[in-house]
Structure 1
């Protein structure tokens, strides 16, 4: 993977991480289209640049994350992230295996699109309008919904937003809580990938791959900076769209994108 390819992947990560269109599916397509070899460093890079996306949420909502007088906020996030930590650790090898097959990812992308077409009509009477009104029970339930995203192509944000709306949250409140929940979830995944996980081909841990040569470390740093900047823009744009149009535009996008991916991987690849 060269510098241009790393920049493109980081842009895609920043654009798609917080909107319900599956960042994983888009990065897999990009890697395949540009012939990027799926070696251990590329796998690590695609996960570790989530750190830049995490920082984007913290910066945009810094008053929320650094308001230590509202300790209940941190309790909710801690409880909500537990299901993903446990199930993610258990199914880590299975997830890696599915990532190697883009066909089911494209199919899930399409199916999720049809769900988003009707979600606004299905949840028409929200009762929770602010994060403060989200109970710990609701937060944990949303955390279990988030686990659906362990199937690549589902989209972590889509699963947690749908879970939030099922729990009575308005679409903006559900989207913002999805952003908040992404911080501990993605931070845990990134730390596991960098510090604990041993990669099969090289038998190195993530930080050893990063420090293996100066080029790897450079790509890692540049990728995170770009993911950070693009994520800030994407989050603001996403909130604006759902306020005005709801989730239907993202549903149509998923259906079109998933269909194009199916055509590409079945007939053109």
Structure 2
């Protein structure tokens, strides 16, 4: 196996794990990173599916107690039934719109320059939202109403545009709609589980023909790197939000996006989709 390819897998796995649950767009970083590392072939399509799955499994592991509690009470506990119902309501907008526009978005929007623009716009939106004063009326996921879940679900659907950030859209949307910062972040993590599992299964179905056994070492390296990085990232984010807002992530998005556009304009990097 090519050691350079394994190194690319390691780097991109870490990138996916670190960025998946931060409001900076993991998809955008993978598109830019894949272009920079010249890893945009057919194998890379399946690879990105594998490392995304690793990231969501990391969240499942971290929140395994709550998931076990929900599974155990799903048949008889109204609280757990309502919790799952909220997730399904929040999941539906992205599911419906994703089926409608998935192919179009991947064809026309999955390129580094589009991502850079979305990173910049999203960064300024985060700055705007953080400077507004939103009084939270919901301090735990269990206090959410069906309408709250639906609104956050539509916010999540905005992340179909690469570079927007699924976690950023759901967390910022949650703040606007009255969720506390902690509640918005936790609901974003839980909502990621059905959303990302569905997206992964759909992508596997679409790319089944290019799955190859000889690619397993590359996928394994990326999977482990993404899993570990995602666990570290989620733990760090939960600690961070207890005393900070998301302004630092907004400025990171803006600076990163400007750098990508500048390198393209100056001809320093030949970005490819």
User: Do 2:110 and 2:162's aligned partners in 1 also have CA atoms closer than 8 Å?
Assistant: no
Using the TM superposition, give the Cα deviation of residue 118 of structure 1 relative to its aligned residue in structure 2, in angstroms: 2.9
Distance 2:264 2:34 in 1: 12
Q: Which runs of 4+ in 1 moved over 3 A?
A: none
Instruction: Determine whether 1:165 maps to 2:175.
Output: yes
Distance 2:20 2:188 in 1: 11
Structure 2 length normalisation: TM-score?
0.89
- Number of aligned residue pairs: give it: 257
Q: Which residue of 2 aligns with 1:3?
A: 6
* DSSP 3-state at the match of 1:244: coil
Q: Which runs of 5+ in 1 are unaligned?
A: 198-204
Q: Which residue of 1 aligns with 2:52?
A: 50
Q: Which residue of 1 aligns with 2:186?
A: 176
Q: Which residue of 2 aligns with 1:202?
A: none
User: Do 1:109 and 1:258's aligned partners in 2 also have CA atoms closer than 8 Å?
Assistant: yes
Q: Which residue of 2 aligns with 1:213?
A: 213
1:10-159 to 2 correspondences below 5 Å: 10-36=13-39, 38-67=40-69, 68-69=72-73, 70-159=80-169
Distance 1:77 1:265 in 2: 40
Out of 194, 200, 213, which is 1:190 matched to? 200
Q: Which residue of 1 aligns with 2:230?
A: 231
1:166-223 CA distance string (max 9 Å, x none): 22101111011101101110000101111x21xxxxxxx33x433x232x12222332
Distance 1:234 1:86 in 2: 29
Using the TM superposition, give the Cα deviation of residue 29 of structure 1 relative to its aligned residue in structure 2, in angstroms: 1.7
Q: Which residue of 1 aligns with 2:76?
A: none
User: Do 2:134 and 2:175's aligned partners in 1 also have CA atoms closer than 8 Å?
Assistant: no
Distance 2:104 2:48 in 1: 17
Q: Which runs of 5+ in 2 are unaligned?
A: 74-79
